[in-house]
Amino acid sequence: MPESTTAEMDTIPAFLWFACDFGRANDPSFCSWTSEDTGSRWQIQSSGTPTLNIGPNMDHTGEPGNFIYTLATSPQETEVARLVSPVVSSPDSDLCVSFWYHMFGPHIGTLHIKQRKQTEKGPADVLLWTVSGHQGNRWREGRVLVPRTNKPYQVVIESLVERKSWGDIAVDDIKVLDGITLPDCKDPDVPTI
């Protein structure tokens, strides 16, 4: 690889490789994120989810596009699905991560955003953001501040579904908000209706 190309890659801001909209119907992609094998997985969907009238019909923009979802229909006691970001290897500042989520259905479960740090005893996940239960039949934006560390880390999107849950947890458009002030890195106010 030419030296200038390597130098350019080293200066690419984190938000350019971090972002993922999960592609289009004919080109689905987890981007550079990976699905962890926990027995349950995030799945890519382009329109509607398998549970009729529960999941979103389109991605958060209202246009045809992909999103990811987990189903809350299992007889198992608890199901966990995790999607793990690429490694943030040179964190020189806090990151404000934005994402869109849709949680519609009775006893829907819980969505977590975690920071996975490497420790002497192995990886440790630190909870940064969480929401549980029915959130209405609409997409909502979530924002979470991921603090800088002196060691590489990853961001984990985790759905936790318990027995007797029913519905879908969906996520779309993960990205880092560049240039936002730290006080603004919080969930936008949503009017209650």
Instruction: Work out the widest C-alpha separation in the chain, in whole angstroms.
Output: 56
CB atoms within 10 A of CB 6: 9
Spell out the CATH class of 16-179: mainly beta
Nearest to 129 by CA among 117, 139, 114: 114
How many CB atoms sit inside 10 A of residue 66's CB?
Answer: 22
Cα four-point dihedral sign 161, 144, 23, 53: positive
Predicted TM-score (pTM) of the model is: 0.82
Indicate the burial class of 23 (C-beta count within 10 angstroms; 0-12, 13-18, 19 or more): middle
Phi, psi dihedrals of residue 128, rounded to the nearest 5°: -110, -30
Distance in angstroms (rounded) separating the CA atoms of residues 44 and 46:
7
pLDDT 10s per residue in the chain (193 long)? Answer: 344 333 444 445 555 678 999 988 788 889 989 988 777 888 888 765 555 555 666 677 777 778 888 865 555 567 889 999 998 876 678 889 999 999 887 778 899 999 999 888 988 999 999 999 888 888 999 999 999 888 889 999 999 887 666 677 899 999 988 778 778 898 887 654 4
Contacts (Cβ under 8 Å, ≥6 apart) of 58: 47, 64, 65
